[in-house]
Chain A
């Protein structure tokens, strides 16, 4: 069984596409689409990596990232942030809050795979 990725994203077809390419690459994938209880899901699923969208219903990806970094169990958990806003200030914000990687939509499948492999060596 491969390592475990949790995709937190509210666009169902993006979830499906990312899940497919990661599964084909040997990753175990879980998904979650709401920001409000995303932290609970992370703590219960205990993934090796989180792919986290910034704009989520209920709670923003930045808030979730802050919680992750403030919790002792997830402080070092690798996080790949996804956003439709590619401005420098958004990238700076993600880096300041502790994101390991930042990708702007629309991204390619190959870029996502490369980033995941890079962040969590199999």
Chain B
């Protein structure tokens, strides 16, 4: 049943909640009981004066009776039904359930969302237990040490006549193994505690981002001609735990050094002392490409003339390939970002530079000026469709920058975005219940 046709069901709910009999309400609004009965069973459309009068008597806004607030609820109920197709729930009854029993429908919807969240957590943890090489190695070490202790203890317990030197040797082995076991179990517990902070598997990109964040994204060793410091930095990169993260870090450092040679940090800082950090103007002034200008601006030290700037890049699939967050502008660590970011608008308008003021919901709403552009990756060839890559520089605006005009309301990602009236929402927010 279409949602707008549930107006009668909502009127009936509200009337019963108000403790009114059908005849009583009908009399107050000047219609017959039988007509109200038809309305309440959704057999007569209602609008105009009668609707306003009934809403007034029931002390609600007319829109609450005609539109309801259960669109998201109905969508979740349908999802729940699709998950349990064998349970026999009737698809067409979802709206009626939401309309007639909103409280119970909400309980069902919340349970469905909770189950989905828990299933995701279980999947991630199972995947980790099965495939995490660190965990597998740690467990192997623990089991090997336990095996050694068990075998040695059995020898000492079961061998009636054992030479003193062998006995001493096995006792020493057991003592060593016990100490090793304690260390290994401790290391394992520490690992699990650390990993338990998040149920998401640590991706190479995340490991790289964490390392760069620790370095502050500004690398003086690569800005100046100091080969020893640059080598030390590369050794640090080689100490990252996963091979893909090490490879990405190496490539990142090489690109940083190359771009620092194209556009030296000192010259850029001096230029920024007199100019706003507009990547288009930087690109023209220094003869570099827009992505280089953006990355160089994003790599400037936070205590310099520009302050800290953020930057994100994505490939043509929308996957973030570069994430440098800036205070107040949240960049999701996992999953997809907000589709309203100018970064993604740029993907649909290749080669068109976009300049957009945005604001994210937060404790203190701050505005950001975003410069975004999508360009082909690598060289362009005739007859070969270009693969696009988009970049966005994020410049915090000072308080009182309303002269920028209205700001585009964006979020970080749907999961943690409290905006309820967003047309771009693809999944419910975990902040919806009580934040």
Query: What's the count of A-B pairs with C-beta under 8 Å?
Result: 58
Q: Using known A-B contacts A13-B177, A84-B140, A85-B140, determine if residue A109 contacts B148 with beta carbons closer than 8 Å.
A: no
Q: Are B169 and A14 closer than 8 Å at their CB atoms? A: no
B129-159 residues with Cβ-Cβ distance < 8 A to A are: 136, 139-140, 143-148, 150-152, 154-155, 158-159
Residue of A21, A24, A85, A106 contacting most chain B CB atoms (<10 Å):
A106
Q: Are B166 and A20 closer than 8 Å at their CB atoms? A: yes
Residues from chain B with Cβ under 8 Å of A24 in the complex: 159
Residues from chain A with Cβ under 8 Å of B143 in the complex: 84, 105-106
Tell me whether A11 is interfacial, beta carbon within 8 Å. Answer: yes
Q: Are A13 and B155 closer than 8 Å at their CB atoms? A: no
* Measured CA separation A42–B142 after assembly (Å): 28
Interface residues of B (CB under 8 A from A): 136, 139-140, 143-148, 150-152, 154-155, 158-159, 166, 169-170, 173, 176-177
Interface footprint category on A = 10 to 19
Q: Are B159 and A105 closer than 8 Å at their CB atoms? A: no
Q: Are A13 and B152 closer than 8 Å at their CB atoms? A: yes
* Measured CA separation A85–B150 after assembly (Å): 17
10 A-B pairs with C-beta separation under 8 A: A11-B148, A14-B151, A16-B152, A84-B144, A105-B143, A106-B151, A108-B150, A108-B154, A109-B154, A109-B158
Q: Using known A-B contacts A20-B166, A84-B140, A85-B140, determine if residue A14 contacts B155 with beta carbons closer than 8 Å.
A: no
Q: Are B140 and A20 closer than 8 Å at their CB atoms? A: no
Q: Are A16 and B147 closer than 8 Å at their CB atoms? A: no
Q: Are B154 and A14 closer than 8 Å at their CB atoms? A: no
B287 to chain A: closest CB distance in Å? 52
Q: Using known A-B contacts A55-B140, A84-B139, A106-B146, determine if residue A13 contacts B154 with beta carbons closer than 8 Å.
A: no
Interface residues of A (CB under 8 A from B): 11, 13-14, 16-18, 20-21, 24, 55, 84-85, 105-110
| Interface pairs A-B: 6 shortest CB-CB | A17-B151, A84-B143, A106-B147, A13-B148, A105-B147, A84-B140
When C-beta atoms are compared, the residue in chain A nearest to B136 turns out to be: A85
* Measured CA separation A121–B177 after assembly (Å): 33
Q: Are B151 and A109 closer than 8 Å at their CB atoms? A: yes
